[in-house]
Amino acid sequence: MNMQDLISNPKTSIVDVREVGEFMQGHYEGAINIPLGTIPNQLEKFKAMDGPIIVYCRSGNRSGLAQTMLKQMGYQEVYNGGALQDMLVYSNN
Long-range contacts from 23-29, C-beta under 8 angstroms, 24+ separation? 26/84, 27/84, 28/56, 28/84, 28/87, 28/88, 28/91
Residues labelled catalytic: 57
